[in-house]
């Protein structure tokens, strides 16, 4: 378990350590409570599967990160969740404002291996579960319980943490990997398999500046429009149109940060009907307007 804490110290050299489970005899997971300054975190290849929970966040700050080429930007407000599997190469992590309290939960390989022994085939926590701004109240409440034990140790804390680790890994596997769509024996029960999902996601990324339709994307997955829409929502947790909207906002973030394009031009490139529609969608997702975001950079 010591290597779990080594990972935290290596990844966050400038972060203050407020509390740690090191030396408490926890089984199944490790946890650290840190305070993070506004900074750029050094490039790192993740050596552990990590869940990050903003205990006390910021009013208008952002966390921008890029793992294996996938850029994500998320408001660092209280309650925000991030998921990073082992093996993802993060070459950009930027905190625009200091975050007072952040819980980092590290999951060792043996927990995932134990779940694989119960599944029809090995469970893969790979780059497909690299997620930011996770809206998952179940994971959030588990993090709250881990935080409570970290702050005030109880007699049964070690046993509880081992149980929570098993529940957490099972939930992540069931919600964010293709194991959520299989029964023992491999019967499909409703979602896109990972091969089709990746093909669809790659197509969306390559065509964000065109007028994408659900029918067009469904043809990439070789499914009817109705079947595709249901299968995509089951696999990803949101509708195709909602997912495309989020990806276009991410594209807009990149353009706001790296180009001199006007807001009107960015709205057009990202296929919003007007600058006003772009601003409304941007504020809804990130809590600030495109102009405010650009000025904060």
pLDDT at res. 190: 53
Q: What is the CA radius of gyration of the chain?
A: 20
Rounded mean pLDDT, 245-264: 90
- Closest to 247 in 3D by CA, of 192, 289, 200, 291: 200
In 108-215, the DSSP E strands lie at: 131-132
245 to 2, 97, 151, 242, 282: CA distances (angstroms) = 41, 26, 39, 5, 10
Task: Give the pLDDT confidence of 145-165 residue by residue, as tens digits.
Answer: 999 999 988 877 888 898 888
For residue 183, the model assigns a pLDDT of 41
Residues in the chain: 297
pLDDT digits 0-9 by tens, 41-97: 989 888 889 999 999 999 889 999 999 888 999 999 999 999 999 999 999 899 999
pLDDT digits 0-9 by tens, 81-126: 999 999 999 998 999 999 999 999 999 888 877 776 555 556 678 7
What are the structural domains, with CATH classification, of the chain?
A: 2-181 (2.60.120.10), 191-297 (1.10.10.60)
The whole-angstrom separation of Cα 56 and Cα 59 is 10
Euclidean distance between CA atoms 143 and 83, whole angstroms: 12
Return d(Cα 53, Cα 103) in angstroms, integer.
Answer: 5
- CA distance linking residue 24 with residue 87, whole number of Å: 27
Question: Which residues, other chains included, contact 289 with Cβ-Cβ below 8 Å and sequence gap of 6+?
Answer: 279, 282, 283
All residues at 6 or more sequence positions from 147 whose CB lies less than 8 Å from its CB, including other chains = 31, 33, 53, 55, 103
Global confidence as pTM: 0.65
Cβ atoms within 10 A of the Cβ of 277, count? 11
């Amino acid at each position: 378990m010591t290597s779990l804490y080594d990972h935290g110290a290596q990844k966050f050299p400038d972060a203050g350590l407020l509390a740690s489970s090191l030396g408490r005899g926890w089984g199944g997971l490790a946890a650290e409570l840190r305070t993070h300054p506004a900074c750029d975190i050094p490039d790192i290849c993740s050596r552990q599967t990590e869940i990050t929970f903003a205990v006390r966040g910021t009013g208008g700050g952002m966390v921008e990160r890029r793992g294996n080429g996938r850029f994500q930007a998320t408001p660092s407000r209280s309650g925000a969740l991030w998921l990073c599997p082992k093996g993802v190469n993060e070459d950009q992590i930027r905190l625009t404002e200091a975050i007072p309290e952040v819980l980092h939960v590290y999951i060792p390989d043996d927990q995932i291996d134990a779940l694989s022994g119960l599944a029809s085939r090995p469970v893969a926590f790979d780059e497909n579960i690299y997620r930011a701004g996770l809206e998952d109240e179940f994971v959030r409440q588990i993090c709250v319980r881990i935080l409570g034990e970290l702050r005030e140790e109880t007699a049964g804390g070690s046993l509880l943490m081992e149980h929570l680790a098993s529940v957490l890994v099972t939930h992540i596997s069931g919600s964010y990997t293709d194991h959520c769509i299989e029964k023992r024996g491999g019967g499909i029960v409703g979602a896109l398999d990972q091969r089709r999902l990746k093909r669809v996601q790659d197509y969306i990324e390559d065509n964000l500046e065109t007028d994408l339709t659900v029918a067009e994307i469904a043809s990439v997955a070789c499914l009817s429009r109705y079947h595709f829409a249901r299968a995509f929502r089951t696999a990803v947790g949101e509708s195709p149109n909602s997912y495309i909207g989020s990806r276009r906002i991410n594209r807009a973030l990149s353009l706001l940060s790296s180009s001199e394009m006007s807001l009107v031009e960015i709205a057009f490139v990202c296929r919003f009907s007007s600058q006003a529609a772009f601003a409304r969608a941007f504020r809804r997702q990130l809590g600030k307007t495109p102009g405010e975001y650009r000025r904060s950079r």
